[in-house]
Every structure is written in structure tokens, then in C-alpha cells.
Amino acid sequence: MIPTELRESVPAFDDVRYMNTGASGPTPRSVLEAGQAELESHEWESAGDDGPYPHAFNLYDTVRDSIASFIQTTSEEIALTQSTSDGINRIATAIEWEPGDVIVRTDLEHPAGVLPWERLKQKGCEVRVVPTENGRIHRDDFTDAIQGAKLVCLSAITWNYGTVLPVAELSAEAADAGAFVLVDAVQWPGHLPLDVSSWDAHAVAMASHKWMLGLWGAGFLYIDRAALSRLEPAQIGYRSVAQMSSGGYELHSGAQQFEVGTTSTAPYVALDSAVTLLEDIGLPAIESHILSLAELLTDSIDAERIYSPRDPETGLVTIQVENPDTTIERCKDEYNLVLRTLPEPSDAIRASIHAYNTREDVEILVEALDRIAKWTLSAHSPLIVDYWQGDWVGTSWIRVYTGDKSIRSIRWESFWWTEIESSLTGLGRPGVGDF
């Protein structure tokens, strides 16, 4: 399969130019159909075979094998979860915490890599936040922060800048300082080739619903076998144990001990299908396609407006705009472009470029941002976005878009600017759009 064929297999592109995979990737038809077929297979067909539980257990084994091969590790080091947040929390609750224990994170983390530590902070742990600049960690600050730390949590790819952090170097330094290293890598698989064991992290949390193009509800957690002795799962269920009896139980020897109980098999079958699809295209081809389009985008925007690396490292490109909310709305309404705003930097939007995006998507985005920027004056100045002829000669109406997102229609009885300005008293001087 080639990227063009991938795009044709995603029905979402019938309606929009989707450029928000960093939040969630629309699923190809074949992946969705695999999940749908599994629902029927598990709920109906398995009843006449070995039963739904053996059916599910065999499937989980298959998916662990598939994921392990995809990220270049062993199936014994893979636990199936529901999401990245779920995986992070399974690690956070498996460590024995005491008041005064130190947790280190960066100021670039997604809420999934912030909230578990805030809860522990309420219980007396210390949370140190390493400052960054433009998506880069200050290494001296990192070195200082990890001294005496019990856990270090960091992202492999920053979700708001699209920078690739030196995970292997940071992991090695943190591990040497005695810390358990947990990586949020949800932006990586399906986006760039991954050899997870090369990072030397103790645990890595990921999910299928972004760049892997799977369904919501299927996450996976890598745990280095050597790190298991430092963890004790806080939850336990029939999927956690190798055997149980009246005398007790024995946990699975590998990461599977972090699986708990009954979950739908459909998202995991879809994940397995997505892995097959991505491998059919080829991760090197996907990476090359993504980076070439990301470079086209950064080369087409004024350098001072690009917050991401000018020489792109990923398909996440963050662009400064005057009014992010308005820009996102107008990109969607007028150009069918789907992007997103960011909490930080707050004056920016983010485009996510994946294998199914095209040069035309990028060119239309550049055109949209250029036109919207020309129309935007300030937060309080209105923009004339439309006009139409009235019922009698010499009378027209203008539609004005104001900084507070309201639309005002004003009767215009003259074609002179002085008349327009008098009609817009208190709103400021208007700018003119392309009528």
C-alpha cells in the first residue's frame, strides 16, 4: 500500500482534510471492519467453539506478539492496556510511595504525564518540573532535578512542539541516578520507526488511536523484564495470574501481570490489523512522507511563526497565529481543514501530518493561514467578511466579524468608508476581506 491508497481507505477524508492525528487518527476502513468482525466473532461464533474466554486469551497472545515485533521487543515485556493514561497509571500505582519521595517530569508533559504525580504530591511526594525552551530540555536542569528522584517521567515526542527528545540519553542518566524511568511515547508508534529496547527505559506507555490508526480502547505498555522486581501491580485479576488455587496465586512472570480483567477484544483486533497495514506501507516510507510534507509546511511559513523545529523532526508542526480559536474555526468552515489549538504555546495552532496527508493538504493550509492572517487585525477590530445588495438602489448590508466572535449585520447606505466607520462606532476600524 502507498500513502495515496491509505487516504482512499479512510472515509473521514470524504468530508474533511484531516490534520489532527496527534490528537486522534481516523481509522482506515479495513481496520474498523476488522474490529467490527471481531465483535461478531467473539459474541456469537466463539459460543459454539471453545467459548469467549479462550477466544479472547488466544487473541491477546496474538496481539502481544504483533505489538512486540512492531516495537522490537519480546511479548513477555508487553501488557495490553486501554490507553496511554491507563498504562502510566498502572506504573504509578505499582510503586510504593512514601512522603518525601521525588518525582521528576518536564513542563512539556501531556496531562497523562502530569495528573498521577499531582495526586502523589497531595500525599506528600515532591514533584520537580524540569523547564524547557521551544521543546528542548535544559540538560543541566535535568541533571540537577533527577538527583535523589524515585521516578522520572518524560515524553519521547513533545505533543506541543513536535520535538524528539533524546530518550536514550535521558533514560541512562536518570537510571544512573537511581530513578525508575517511565516514557510517554503515544506520539511515536506508527509515526516513526521504533526500537523500544534501545531507549533503556524501564517502562513505556503507548496507545493505538493516534498515529497507529487503530480504535479507541487499545493501549499497550512496555515493561523491561529486569524492572518488574521494582513494581507490584496495584490491581489484580484473572488475566494477571499464571495460576491460582485455594492456597494463593502466582503472577505472570512478565508484563502480562499488569493486565486485569474483561475488556472488549475488538480494539485489539483492530490494533493488530493496523500494525499489518502500517508494516505493509513501511515505517521508513511513512517517516519519509511525513517529514517531506512537514518540511514543505515549515518552508512555506515565515520562520518567526514556526515554533516547531524549522527542520522538522516529526509530523507535528506548531504555528503562531493571532487568534487560534478563530483560525481553527475558519480553517474548518472555509477550507475543511481539521487542526487544533494548544494550551501552550497559547498563541498557536498545531498541524499533524501523517501518511494519508498530501501536498495539496499542506498547500491549502498555507493558503488558509495566509488569508486568515491578512484578515486578522487585532482582538478588538472587526473584519468585513461579506456584503450583499439591499432591496433598493444605493443600499447594501455588510456582515462584520468581531474579535469577540460575534457576527453583526449593519445596513450600509453609502459606499464611502466614513459611512462604514460611523456604523461601526465602538468597534474600531474594519479590515476588508475578499467579498
For 269-280, the pLDDT digits (tens) are 999 999 999 999
Q: Which CATH number characterizes residue 338's domain?
A: 3.90.1150.10
- Same domain (yes/no): 122, 270: yes
Q: Which CATH number characterizes residue 212's domain?
A: 3.40.640.10
What are the backbone dihedrals phi and psi of residue 306, each rounded to the nearest 5 degrees, phi first?
-95, 115
Local confidence band at 407 (pLDDT 50, 70, 90 cut-offs): very low
Query: What mean pLDDT is predicted for residues 149-173?
Result: 98
Q: Which of 253, 279, 305 is the C-terminal boundary of a domain?
A: 279
DSSP alpha helices (H): ranges in 135-208?
139-145, 167-176
Lowest mean pLDDT among 78-87, 159-168, 404-413: 404-413
- Same domain (yes/no): 294, 329: yes
Quote the pLDDT of residue 399.
Answer: 52
Quote the pLDDT of residue 376.
Answer: 61
**Which residue is it, cell 518567526?**
304
- Same domain (yes/no): 337, 414: no
- Same domain (yes/no): 104, 197: yes
Query: Residue 42 and residue 268: Cα distance in Å, rounded?
Result: 12
Local confidence band at 247 (pLDDT 50, 70, 90 cut-offs): confident
Sign of CA dihedral 357, 311, 72, 136: negative
Local confidence band at 329 (pLDDT 50, 70, 90 cut-offs): very high
- Same domain (yes/no): 9, 107: no
Quote the pLDDT of residue 404.
Answer: 45
Report the percentage of the chain scoring pLDDT > 90. 83
Nine-digit cell string for 147: 538527583
Query: What mean pLDDT is predicted for residues 207-223?
Result: 98
The residue with greater pLDDT, 429 or 310, is: 310
Assign 253 to helix, strand or coil.
coil
To the nearest whole number, what is the mean pLDDT of the chain? 89
Q: Which of 220, 255, 279 is the C-terminal boundary of a domain?
A: 279
The residue with greater pLDDT, 427 or 235, is: 235
- Which residues lie closer than 8 Å to 394 by C-beta, 6 or more apart? 413, 414
249: domain range?
29-279
pLDDT surpasses 90 at 336: yes
pLDDT surpasses 60 at 435: no
Local confidence band at 386 (pLDDT 50, 70, 90 cut-offs): very low
- Same domain (yes/no): 407, 355: no
Query: What mean pLDDT is predicted for residues 322-331?
Result: 96
- Same domain (yes/no): 40, 129: yes
- Same domain (yes/no): 314, 263: no
Local confidence band at 374 (pLDDT 50, 70, 90 cut-offs): confident
- Same domain (yes/no): 14, 53: no
pLDDT surpasses 50 at 391: no
Report how many domains make up the chain: 3
Quote the pLDDT of residue 359.
Answer: 97
Angle at 317 between CA 312 and CA 323, to 5 degrees: 150
- Same domain (yes/no): 285, 180: no
pLDDT surpasses 90 at 415: no
Query: What mean pLDDT is predicted for residues 157-162?
Result: 97
- Same domain (yes/no): 303, 370: yes
Q: Which of 239, 254, 279 is the C-terminal boundary of a domain?
A: 279
- Same domain (yes/no): 339, 240: no
pTM: 0.87
Q: Is 303 exposed, middle or buried (0-12, 13-18, 19+ CB in 10 A)?
A: exposed
Per residue in 56-100, pLDDT (tens digit) is 999 999 999 999 999 999 999 999 999 999 999 999 999 999 999
